[in-house]
């Protein structure tokens, strides 16, 4: 079952823009900052690939970006065994409408790679990443293509930490696609420009995806899901010029028999999302704990898909308040052969009038579902 498929991986731009970036007037090319070419960062990444430079505690070669504002016109390609330290950098984009993949960074993966076989042990630390700022300053926001910022596919052992990502148009701040052992920690994700042609549920700041036809950024469309994912200590909110994300995390492509497994979402602060704050789709062994959700359209929502049973969902110790028209906490078992079993929902601070269970949802032995 395909919930949705991305159709712009080859780089086609969107035809319209939902919203503008506040009241900032164009400053004109003459007043733009003295950009450093993004090719400088790519050379550092290639040097790390070639074994040049210091290593971090995990044995990754460090590509440390000097302080400056860098302009990308094509994706940065990060290789296995590399740690991109962008702590001192501001990185903006001026991608063409066609001809390149629309993500600011992508890991190196051969066309024949499937599963989690792409070379891993990759880290990205820090940086202020903004895919539309340059377009706004030049007064041509309508020319900004829909974008991801950090994308990882068919790989393993990925860490993204302490990055700040601003005002993404239509797609995702961070996409983990067919990733095993991926962590997103301490990141700040602010502002999203909604796609007028897709539902708000489509706007996940951190998307867990599988590599299917039409969604695999590189390598095979073999439907490999994500496994062993940790999202912890992140902040997801509006920016000064754009409203909040659709969701902090979720998925919108799913197939029976290809289940995300081992998803931990803990200690995050999520505010002002325009759909559910935290969602999982077709994921099992899920633990959603200790998150703070405020002022979102919906709260925490776990869902199965047709013909795919799920087991082990724990939603505990979360604080959920100020929810709009959707559920504050919900688990939905699809009616057709997709029960959700071994469930714990307990110790959450939540309005019980907005807690709901749909379909065949079964608690763990000895447990009672909160607010049932």
Residue 181: give its domain's CATH number: 2.160.20.10
What's 66's DSSP letter?
P
Residue 12 clears pLDDT 80, i.e. is over it: no
Report yes or no on 208 lying in a domain. Answer: yes
pLDDT of residue 26: 52
Q: Count of domains in the chain?
A: 1
pLDDT digits (tens, 9 = 90+) for 122-140: 999 999 999 999 999 999 9
The predicted model gives 251-270 an average pLDDT of 96
Residue 33 clears pLDDT 90, i.e. is over it: no
The predicted model gives 160-182 an average pLDDT of 98
> Which H or E element spans position 319?
strand 319-321
Whether the pTM exceeds 0.75: the reply is yes
pLDDT digits (tens, 9 = 90+) for 325-368: 999 999 999 877 899 999 999 999 999 999 999 999 999 999 98
Report yes or no on 263 lying in a domain. Answer: no
The predicted model gives 90-105 an average pLDDT of 97
Contacts of 105 (CB under 8 A, 6+ apart): 75, 76, 77, 78, 84, 124, 149, 150, 151
The predicted model gives 94-106 an average pLDDT of 97
Residue 14 clears pLDDT 80, i.e. is over it: no
Report yes or no on 225 lying in a domain. Answer: yes
Report yes or no on 316 lying in a domain. Answer: no
Report yes or no on 344 lying in a domain. Answer: no
Residue 11 clears pLDDT 50, i.e. is over it: no
Give backbone dihedrals phi and psi of 57, rounded to 5 degrees, phi first: -65, -20
Lowest mean pLDDT among 24-38, 57-71, 111-125, 337-351: 24-38
38: confidence class by pLDDT, cuts 50, 70, 90: very high
Domain holding 168, by residue range, is 54-253
The predicted model gives 42-61 an average pLDDT of 98
Q: Are 209 and 148 in contact (CB under 8 A)?
A: no
Q: Are 182 and 224 in contact (CB under 8 A)?
A: no
């Amino acid at each position: 079952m395909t919930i949705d498929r991305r159709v712009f991986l080859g780089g086609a731009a969107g035809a319209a823009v939902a919203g503008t970036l506040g009241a900032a007037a164009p400053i004109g090319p003459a007043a733009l900052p003295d950009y450093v070419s993004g090719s400088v960062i790519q050379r550092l990444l290639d040097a790390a690939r070639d074994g040049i430079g210091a290593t971090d505690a995990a044995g990754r070669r460090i590509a440390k970006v000097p302080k400056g504002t860098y302009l990308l016109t094509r994706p940065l390609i990060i290789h296995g065994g590399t740690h991109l330290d962008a702590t001192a950098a501001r990185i903006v984009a001026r991608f063409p409408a066609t001809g390149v993949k629309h993500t600011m960074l992508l890991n190196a993966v051969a066309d024949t790679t499937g599963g989690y076989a792409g070379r891993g042990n990759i880290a990205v630390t820090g940086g202020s990443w903004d895919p539309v700022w340059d377009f706004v300053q030049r007064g041509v926001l309508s020319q900004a293509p829909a974008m991801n910022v950090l994308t990882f596919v068919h790989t393993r052992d990925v860490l993204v930490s302490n990055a700040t990502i601003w005002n993404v148009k239509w797609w995702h701040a961070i996409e983990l696609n067919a990733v095993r052992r991926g962590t997103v920690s301490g990141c700040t994700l602010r502002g999203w420009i909604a796609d007028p042609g897709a539902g708000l549920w489509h706007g996940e700041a951190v998307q867990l995806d599988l590599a299917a036809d039409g969604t695999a950024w590189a390598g095979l469309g073999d439907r490999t899901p994500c496994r062993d994912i940790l999202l912890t200590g992140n902040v997801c909110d509006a920016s000064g010029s754009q409203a909040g994300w659709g969701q902090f995390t979720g998925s919108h492509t799913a197939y029976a028999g290809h289940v995300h497994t081992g998803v931990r979402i803990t200690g995050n602060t999520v505010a002002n999302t325009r759909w559910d704050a935290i969602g999982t789709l077709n994921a099992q062994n899920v633990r959603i704990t200790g998150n703070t959700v405020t002022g979102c359209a919906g709260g925490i929502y776990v869902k199965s898909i047709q013909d795919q049973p799920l087991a082990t969902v724990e939603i505990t110790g979360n604080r959920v308040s100020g929810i709009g028209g959707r559920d504050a906490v919900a688990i939905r078992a699809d009616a057709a052969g997709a029960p959700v079993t071994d469930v714990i929902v307990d110790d959450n601070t939540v309005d019980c009038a907005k807690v709901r269970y749909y379909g065949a949802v079964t608690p763990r032995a000895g447990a009672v579902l909160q607010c049932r």
